[in-house]
């Protein structure tokens, strides 16, 4: 699976024109992705600089990306986030620095701005070959092998030429790294008894399903690229927002909320 900021942006824009129900969400997500792409390019394009992996040290450069994201949210975010963006813009550097460091050390999927700001940084960190420092997260199956972040979305893909069958992968919620994962196993607790694992779909999205576990009561959405090769897991996951509503109604907790808070 080859994903870039551009393929994500294009997919969000495309799906926004197709889905009445998720149009607003996807339009906002596309704006967010454009701001994240700008942040990423700022970091990547900075002459004579590579991230150290210690956020504290890299903050002076990362800080320069804050304004662009706040502006994008102010321009097209939902009212609560617009309000928060304004207050963060007023609060000054120190407050945002602390919030970013806290998110780096102990990630939370409910800190929208911090998560959105750190994704481009962590992506560039992964690509530039630095190691994330000061982030002592538990390393276990189901966690990103690069940064320890939780999985945002699961996907099935067709086999590589020469391989016997297709595989499953997870996408990291923090650095967007993709890693292979066993097919029939809960990404949260490792449950592998088929009777405890449920898959739920709605006819509206034939290539997206809820992958739920009755042992830990967590779920993640899975995007089936063998059914729809054009899908972009991170974006199609957001588009299938109705499945989150269904999962919450049935008492399941998402392993990691996505950037639009679902």
Positions that interact with Zn ion (CB under 5 A): 144, 146-147, 149, 172, 174-175, 177, 186, 188-189, 191, 213, 215-216
Considering all CA atoms of the chain, what is the largest pairwise distance in Å, rounded to the nearest integer?
56
- For the CB of residue 214, give the shortest distance to Zn ion in the complex, in Å: 8
| Sequence-distant (≥ 6) Cβ neighbours of residue 28 within 8 angstroms | 76, 77, 78, 260
Which is closer to Zn ion, CB of 99 or CB of 189? 189
Whole-angstrom distance, CA of residue 251 vs CA of residue 258: 18
- For the CB of residue 56, give the shortest distance to Zn ion in the complex, in Å: 19
**Cβ contact 50:43 at 8 Å:** no
Which is closer to Zn ion, CB of 26 or CB of 212? 212
| Sequence-distant (≥ 6) Cβ neighbours of residue 98 within 8 angstroms | none
**Cβ contact 213:197 at 8 Å:** yes
- For the CB of residue 212, give the shortest distance to Zn ion in the complex, in Å: 8
Which is closer to Zn ion, CB of 66 or CB of 122? 122
Q: Which residue's structure tokens are 């662009």? A: 68
| Sequence-distant (≥ 6) Cβ neighbours of residue 163 within 8 angstroms | none
- For the CB of residue 118, give the shortest distance to Zn ion in the complex, in Å: 10
SS3 121: helix
- For the CB of residue 126, give the shortest distance to Zn ion in the complex, in Å: 7
Which is closer to Zn ion, CB of 67 or CB of 182? 182
Which is closer to Zn ion, CB of 188 or CB of 258? 188
The residue count of the chain comes to 262
């Amino acid at each position: 699976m080859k994903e870039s900021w551009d393929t994500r942006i294009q997919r969000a824009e495309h799906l926004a024109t197709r889905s009445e129900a998720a149009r607003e969400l996807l339009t906002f997500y596309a704006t967010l992705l454009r701001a994240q792409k700008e942040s990423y390019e700022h970091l990547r394009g900075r002459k004579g600089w590579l991230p150290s992996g210690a956020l504290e040290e890299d903050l002076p450069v990362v800080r320069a990306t804050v304004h662009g994201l706040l502006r994008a949210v102010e321009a097209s975010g939902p009212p609560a986030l617009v309000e928060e963006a304004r207050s963060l813009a007023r609060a000054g550097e120190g407050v945002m620095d602390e919030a970013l460091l806290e998110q780096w050390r102990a990630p939370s999927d409910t800190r929208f701005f911090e998560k959105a700001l750190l994704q481009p940084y962590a992506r560039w960190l992964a690509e530039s070959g630095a190691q994330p420092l000061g982030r002592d997260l538990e390393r276990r199956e189901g966690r990103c092998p690069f940064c320890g972040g939780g999985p945002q979305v699961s996907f099935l893909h067709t086999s590589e030429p020469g391989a016997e069958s297709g595989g499953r992968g997870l996408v990291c919620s923090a650095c967007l790294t993709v890693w292979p994962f066993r097919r029939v196993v809960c990404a949260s607790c490792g449950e592998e008894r088929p009777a405890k694992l449920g898959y739920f779909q709605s006819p509206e999205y034939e290539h997206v399903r809820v992958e739920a576990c009755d042992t830990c009561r967590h779920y993640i959405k899975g995007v089936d690229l063998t059914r729809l090769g054009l899908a972009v897991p991170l974006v199609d996951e957001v588009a299938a927002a109705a499945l989150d509503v269904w999962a919450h109604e049935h008492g399941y907790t998402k392993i990691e909320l996505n950037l639009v808070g679902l």
